[in-house]
Amino acid sequence: MLKSQRQKDLVFDSVIYAALFIIMLTMLYPFYYVLIASFNKGSDSLLGGVYLWPRNFTLENYRMFMDDPKWVRAFLVSVLRTVSGTLLGLLLTSIVAYGLSHRDLLFSKVYFTVIVFAMYFSGGLIPYYVVLRSLGLLNSFAVYIVPSMLSTFFLLIAISFFREIPGELKESAHMDGAGELTIFFRIILPVSTPVLATMALFMGVGQWNSWLDSAYFVQSEELRTLAFRMMEVINKSNSPMDSIAVANSASAGVTSFSLQVTSMVVSIVPIICVYPFLQKYFVHGIMLGSVKG
Amino acid sequence: MELETQPRSPGTGGGRRSFLWKRFKKQKVLHLFVGLGMVYLLIFAYTPMFGILMAFKDYSISSGIKGIFTSDWVGLRYFDEFVHDYQFGKLVRNTLVLSLLKVIFAFPAPILLAIMLNEVKHMAFKRFVQTISYLPHFISWVVVVGVSYAFLSTDVGVVNKALLAMGFVDEPLGFLTSPNYFWGLAVGSAVWKEMGWWTIIFLAAISGISPSLYEAAEIDGAGRLARIRYITLPGMKGTIVVVLVLTIGSILGGGLVGSNFEQAYLFGNSINNPTSEIVQTYAFRVGLSDGRFSYAAAIDLIQSVISVALIFSSNYIAKRVSGSSLF
């Protein structure tokens, strides 16, 4: 009886470990494959059979990428929007959340109603476009930053975090004659690293990955982001006429496919780099806002 | 600080007002902070809501924001036009099928993964698998489509090359260019991208279950499967219901597995269009590409009305059936 139970457990465990192992491979291998493909000679990749390591190692793909001012510029635009968008978004979100975190704030019911309503209802893309157009934001770098500075979702997460900061901290500062601005910048922000890191990760990743706003609201070539350019090469090769696109850039063994995987690596690497530093915060931070108790 | 919380003496209306005013003045910096956010929402969230009016009007973009109010009413003309559009049937079918397939396949996946991870005793392995599983959540749809291209395309796709080399197929399969594969492709990539992410919430729910329940069940002779069925799953019930309500409410947008629009737009092409064109991509095309703002706004509006109705009714049903709900 006991033995058969143990045997059953063994089968059960093997099934689970096998399944998890397969899931892990499915998640990892695509990234690995893209990486090796970016170091393989483009014309060689087209022959197939490259599975585990680069067969025809080359740095030509990356050189091509870095020699092309269009890609370099797109990369810089992406970096700039990620850094400034994240910092400004953090600033506005936490300032507003700090005000709202005071339980004795007058009219706070009104404020919260305004926020929650905005969370569930929206005007849709077309009216939004018209608003951005009237504000003169179309075709400017500001369109990447300004409209995304405040998200109701992050606002609620930040509020619930600020509420857990002990009130004595603020009170003693009040006694010492500190104003709200001083308290906010000198006391609240420094103790809020976990929630700030969480929001920074999400805002940063959102900014870095965003291509829709570049496609909708920007026509100027100089303002294109890395994600948008990537979308362009992928969409071009994804369409039925892909062989033409491949033939066009087949110089020095670099193909549209090899350029594509290279740009993908360039866009994934920054995310992988910040991931381990920030993930210890976000699992806790996101829980705070979503599941309580 | 203390003054504010003290009970105030009953007085006339004027006294109350001056009391409120005093409190307000005391909090003026805070109201300034919050006011920034309110102005922001007014501009970027509420003004577009008024813009919905343009769906009932003959709006032209040259009239700017004022035109929303000044242009002529046309009633339901654009709604009528959409319903009689020759693509209407196809668009509605594709939108609904894609959304439903995602709920059916992508909703249970993270629950299953959370249960499996919970059964793993090696903490290091468990943590490693989990960390890897939510990595794709942070990668953009553009990259996911790029990866799919690298694996599934007819010319460079690894899968096709491998199938050809092993002799399973005579010519490459058009995963990305055939209408037959689009739904599978969209659902599969959505599961791949978001499964691990939603697992976090279900694992949190499992960790709230008291270990003594498992011990008692073990003493009573319950096997591993019985424990999952009678302890783990019931323990997750509340979270499952909340996530399901969220999913159904956002089903037209792609539910918990991300954007239907981005998938349909990025995976879509002229050949798989019969299954890949959805209401949102169509609204985008007629709106921003063709400049038919009122028509696109009307299509958008139909969709958001359905979404809001879905979230309220699913929430209501969840409350009736299980007692847990979102609001």
The DSSP secondary structure of B196-213, one letter per residue, reads HHHHHHHHHHHHTS-HHH
Averaged over B279-286, what is the pLDDT? 88
Contacts of B142 in chain A (CB under 8 A): 209, 211, 227, 230-231, 234, 267
pLDDT over 60 at A62, yes or no? yes
Distance between CA A150 and CA A258 in Å, rounded?
38
Tracing tokens 């709604």 back to the chain, one arrives at: B79
Count of A-B CB contacts under 8 Å = 273
Q: Which of A9, A126, A130, A248 to mutate to test the interface with B (most CBs of B within 10 A)?
A: A126
Q: Is the pLDDT of residue A29 over 90?
A: yes
Of B45, B201, B296, the CB nearest to A126: B296
Give chain B positions within 8 Å (CB) of A92.
36-37, 40
Residue A83 to residue A228: CA distance in whole angstroms: 18
Cα–Cα distance measured from residue A198 to residue B258, given in angstroms and rounded to the nearest whole number: 20
End-to-end CA distance of chain A: 40
Element (H, E) at A231: helix A226-238
Is A218's pLDDT higher than 80? yes
* CA count, 13 A, side-chain hemisphere, A266: 24
A261 and B150: CB-CB below 8 Å? yes
Q: What is the pTM of this model?
A: 0.85
Of A118, A129, A130, the CB nearest to B45: A118
- The arithmetic mean of pLDDT across residues B198-214, rounded, is 87
- From A8, A114, A127, residue closest to B38, measured CB to CB: A114
Per-residue pLDDT at A137 exceeds 80: yes
DSSP secondary structure letter of residue A149: S
Say what the pLDDT of residue A170 is. Answer: 81
d(CA A76, CA A82): 10
What confidence score (pLDDT) does residue A144 get? Answer: 94
Q: Spell out which residues of chain A touch residue B52, defining contact as CB-CB under 8 Å.
A: 123-124, 127
Taking residues A208-214, report their average pLDDT: 90
pLDDT in tens, B242-256: 888 778 877 776 656
Tell which A residues from 198 to 257 touch B, by Cβ distance under 8 Å: 205, 208-212, 216, 227, 230-231, 234-235, 237-240, 242-243, 246, 257
Q: How far, in Å, CA of A248 to CA of B216, rounded? A: 69
Q: Which pLDDT does position A224 carry in this prediction?
A: 92
The answer to whether the Cβ–Cβ distance between B204 and A291 falls below 8 Å is yes
Answer yes or no: are the C-beta atoms of A86 and A240 closer than 8 Å: no
Q: State percent of chain A over pLDDT 70.
A: 88
How many angstroms separate the CA atoms of A152 and A118, rounded?
Answer: 8
**Do B29 and A13 make contact, defined as CB atoms within 8 angstroms?**
no
DSSP H stretches of helix in chain B: 2-5, 13-26, 28-41, 47-50, 67-70, 77-83, 88-106, 108-118, 123-133, 141-152, 158-165, 182-207, 211-219, 224-227, 233-249, 260-267, 273-276, 279-284, 293-322
Q: How confident is the model at residue A88 (pLDDT cuts 50, 70, 90)?
A: very high
- Cβ count within 10 A of residue A247: 10
Q: Which residue does chain A place closest to B192, by CA atoms?
A: A27
CB atoms within 10 A of CB B291: 11
Taking CA atoms, B218 is separated from B93, B116, B175, in Å, by: 49, 18, 47
Residue A136 neighbours by CB under 8 Å, 6+ apart: none
Q: What is the DSSP letter of A109?
A: H
Q: Which of A17, A126, A238 sits opposite B176 (nearest CB)?
A: A238
Residue B138 contacts by C-beta under 8 Å, 6 or more apart in sequence? A205, A209, A271, A275
* B166 shares contact with chain A (CB less than 8 Å): no
Selecting from B37, B267, B301 the residue whose C-beta is nearest the C-beta of A124 gives B301
Q: ipTM value, please give it.
A: 0.85
Residues in chain A closer than 8 A to B65 (CB atoms):
130-131, 134
* Euclidean distance between CA atoms B84 and A262, whole angstroms: 45
Q: Shortest CB distance from B46 goes to which of A34, A118, A267?
A: A118
- B204 with B191: CB under 8 angstroms? no
Mean of the pLDDT values across residues B114-125? Answer: 90
Which of A237-241, B217-221, B323-327 ranks highest by mean pLDDT? B217-221
Distance from CA of A118 to the nearest CA of B (A): 6
What distance in Å separates the CA atoms of residue B316 and residue B327, rounded to the nearest whole number? Answer: 9
Cα B78 to Cα B51, B55, B72, B288, B292, distances in angstroms: 15, 7, 13, 16, 10
Tell me whether B23 touches chain A (CB under 8 Å).
Answer: yes
- The single-letter code of the amino acid at A263 is S
Q: Cβ–Cβ of B43/A230 closer than 8 Å?
A: no
